[in-house]
Structure 1
Amino acid sequence: MGSVNPPFVVFGYGSLIFKPPPHVQSQISGFLKGYVRRFAQKSHDHRGTPEVCFTRLSFFIRGTSDRAIIAISQNPGRVVTLIHKEEWDHFSQSDAFPNEDIVWGIAYTIDPAYEAEVRDYLDYREKDGYTMEILDVYTIENGIEKVGIHDAYCYVGRPDNPSFIGSEPLEDLAQRIWASVGPSGQNKEYLYCLATAVRELAPTSYDSHLFALEERLLELDKSAREDSN
């Protein structure tokens, strides 16, 4: 008898929670150990549209002076990534991850008949700096922690990828998310959807970083409404 390939299971901790991949056969809520979830990844393609700034460069062609105008900067939004806890502690001592916080998400088992299609779909969706890693997903049964799924796949924005932005002051980050818009919609809607979804995953599902940003964005929304009246 031929060997049977293990199922393709992908763990979602960001937009995959509220916008699942196609061809899901089953799913369970679970959490990770040794990681933090942070809005530390720039989004050039989904939640941020390049904002072109221009500069003039002078140069010479065939002895005559000429000028060119080129774009030199962008205005990407911010989306979440997973970061190994020890790496995040190295980046930001002022933003220590609370011990009571746990990175909850959803592990999706994909229909084997569509594995190749879903892999291609996810590779394209997560193309802006994300790398696939393999990790264990934990669950709680009868009050006891256990590994629910071994070797689930997960897209992680590692600190050495060009879209990794690292730690930013909460106010700067909130202002950026509140103002950014991309092909997939408003950056703040991404955050609001994620916060709502995380709350619904489990009674112990809590993310102080995410919820603090949500609170600040709601304040910005309220202030904008008051200013418009």
Structure 2
Amino acid sequence: MTTPAHPTQPYIVFGYGSLMFKPPPNVVKQTPGYIKGYVRRFAQSSTDHRGTPEAPGRVVTLIPVDEWESLYGHESYPGHDIVWGVAYTIDPDPAKSLETHEYLEYREKEGYTVHIEDIYAADGSVAAPRVQVYVGRSDNPAFIGAEPLDQLAEHIWRSVGPSGRNKDYFYGIARHVRELAPDSDDPYLFALERRIRTLDEESDAPA
């Protein structure tokens, strides 16, 4: 269990997955930006939102780029150590900050821990300092790791959980990354998206 930000500091949370299209409560400011030194990967098992215990889905996490490369080697995605998302500043009222904190602790309960990082704007300046980021590290029990992209696309395409279809979660993330800023990009995410959309097209094709 983590604790909310100190009362004298802004309580800011970085959303890089479903938080981009389903923000936490009590947000007073949204700041698009990116985090350095991480990769966004669909490397986390989901048994409670986008899959079930019998058929887990796949959800996104951040992994320090050095850790990912030590496990799986370098990947040829341009700018793959930058992850775009949204920094959410939470209402400083103590009751509302606590409400948001408890909401996020429950929502991110399956294997995520909090890191503190700076968020950068498109021009390279610090857009939001000391932001809380929920990270599913490689030593957490829900971590799946790297999977071949075609295999991962198939898994996401067919998985369903209590929160809905896994592919709808994926498409929401891809859409919001594109909309964050003129320069917002994620070559890995968009490569995976192309494969999932191909599965959609193939399933809709006449027999």
Q: TM-score, normalised by structure 2?
A: 0.92
Aligned to 2:71: 91
Aligned to 1:34: 37
Give the strand-richer structure, 1 or 2: 1
Deviation at 1:102, TM superposition (A): 2.8
Mapping of residues 117-136 of structure 1, within 5 Å: 117-136=99-118
Aligned to 1:64: none
Mapping of residues 176-195 of structure 1, within 5 Å: 176-195=155-174
Tell which structure's C-alpha radius of gyration is larger.
1
Q: TM-score, normalised by structure 1?
A: 0.83
Counterpart amino acid of residue 110 in structure 2: D
Rounded to whole Å, the distance in 2 between the matches of 1:123 and 1:173 is 27
Aligned to 1:138: 120
In structure 2, relative to structure 1, the CA distance for the partners of 1:100 and 1:192 (3 Å cut) is: same
**Identity over the aligned pairs, expressed in percent?**
56
Q: Cα RMSD over matched residues?
A: 1.6
1:127-180 alpha-carbon deviations (Å, 9 max, x no partner): 01000111111113xxx4111111100100000000011110001100100000
Q: Is the 8 A contact 2:21 2:172 kept in 1?
A: yes
In structure 2, relative to structure 1, the CA distance for the partners of 1:155 and 1:101 (3 Å cut) is: closer
Unaligned regions of 5+ residues in structure 1, if any?
A: 52-74
Deviation at 1:100, TM superposition (A): 6.3
The runs of at least 4 consecutive aligned structure 1 residues that moved more than 6 Å come to none
1:58-101 alpha-carbon deviations (Å, 9 max, x no partner): xxxxxxxxxxxxxxxxx211111001010111122263442366
Aligned to 1:50: 53
Aligned to 2:135: 156
Aligned to 1:221: 200
1:169-222 alpha-carbon deviations (Å, 9 max, x no partner): 001100100000001100000111110000000111111111111111111111
Rounded to whole Å, the distance in 2 between the matches of 1:92 and 1:202 is 30
Rounded to whole Å, the distance in 1 between the matches of 2:78 and 2:162 is 33
Q: Does 1:24 align with 2:24?
A: no
Rounded to whole Å, the distance in 1 between the matches of 2:85 and 2:130 is 15
